[in-house]
Amino acid sequence: MKSIIVSMIAAAGLMAAGSVLATTEMPELAKKSGCTACHKIDTKLVGPAWMDVSKKYKGVKEYAFSPTGSATAGAKKMSLEEGLIMKVSKGGTGNWGTVPMTANSPKVKDEDIKTLVHFVLDLAK
Least Cα distance to 101 among 24, 23, 34, 42 occurs for 34
CB 101 within 8 A of CB 91: yes
Q: What is the pTM of this model?
A: 0.76
CA dist 9 → 2, 16, 17, 18, 22 (Å):
11, 11, 12, 14, 20
Give the tens place of pLDDT for each residue, 67-106: 776 556 678 899 999 999 999 999 988 789 888 999 999 9
**CATH code: domain of residue 85:** 1.10.760.10
Average pLDDT score, the chain: 83
Residue 79's domain comprises 27-122
Evaluate whether residue 52 is within a structural domain: yes
User: Does 8 map to a domain?
Assistant: no
Within a domain: residue 13?
Answer: no
Does residue 116 belong to any structural domain of this protein? yes
Report the domain count for the chain.
1
Backbone angles phi, psi at 104, to 5 degrees: -115, -5
